[in-house]
Amino acid sequence: MNYCFDSICGGDIVSEEGTLQSPNYPEDYRPNKECIWKIIVPEKYQVALKFSSFEIESHDNCVYDYLEIRDGHSLSNSPILGKFCGHRIPNDIRSTSNKLLIKFVSDSSVQKAGFSANFIKEFDECSSGNHGCDHICVNTLGGYRCECRIGYELHSDGKKCENACGGLIELFNGTLVSPSFPDLYPPNKNCI
Quick one: what percent of the chain has pLDDT higher than 90?
A: 59
Across 92-97, average pLDDT: 93
Residues 85-113, mean pLDDT to the nearest whole number: 94
The predicted structure's pLDDT at residue 92: 93
DSSP conformation class of 172:
S
CA-based nearest residue to 66, from 92, 93, 34 = 34
Q: Which of 48, 139, 26, 29 is nearest to 102 (CA)?
A: 48
Q: What is the mean pLDDT of residues 102-112?
A: 94
Domains, the chain, with CATH or none: 3-122 (2.60.120.290), 125-163 (2.10.25.10)
Per residue in 121-170, pLDDT (tens digit) is 998 888 877 788 989 998 888 788 999 988 788 888 888 888 777 777 88
Q: In 10 A of CB 9, how many CB atoms?
A: 17
Question: Which amino acid belongs to residue 171?
Answer: L
61 Cβ neighbours under 8 A, 6+ residues apart: none
How high is the pLDDT of residue 164? 75
Cα–Cα distances in Å, from 107 out to 67, 75, 104, 110, 191? 12, 19, 10, 7, 59
d(CA 102, CA 81): 10
Output the DSSP codes for 72-118.
SS-TTTSPEEEEE-BSSPPPPEE-SSSEEEEEEE--SS----EEEEE
Mean of the per-residue pLDDT values of the chain: 88
pTM for this entry = 0.72
Q: What is the DSSP letter of 135?
A: S
Rounded CA gap, 8 and 28, in Å? 15
